[in-house]
Amino acid sequence: MPRSISKKGKGSREVCSWFIVAKKPNSYIINKWLVAFADKFINEKEWKYFMLHDTLCDLYDSDGIIKEKNR
């Protein structure tokens, strides 16, 4: 389940995508995020509004390298 907090009917997300920075090309996190999001985009019949954000939260929860780099 993606992490989110509802405040008076307005969604609040733990992850934002409006500002993404990678120190160098071929970032592990960005590459994994791209592959995971593309897979969901291609294979899911219904897309959630926050699918991009939820994908990154899922990776954080399931990928030890991403979790360790972002503590």
Tell me the pLDDT tens digit for each residue of 26-69. 989 999 999 999 999 999 998 888 888 888 888 888 999 988 87
Tokens 């219904």 belong to residue: 46
Is residue 56 within 8 Å of 33, Cβ to Cβ?
yes
How confident is the model at residue 51, as a pLDDT?
86
Please compute the mean of the pLDDT values over residues 9-33 and round it to a whole number.
77
3-state secondary structure of 38: helix
Q: Is the pTM of this model over 0.75?
A: no
Residues ≥6 apart with Cβ < 8 Å to 57: 2, 3, 14, 15
Distance, C-alpha 61 to centroid of its chain: 10
Percent helix, strand and coil across the chain, each to the nearest 5: 50, 10, 40
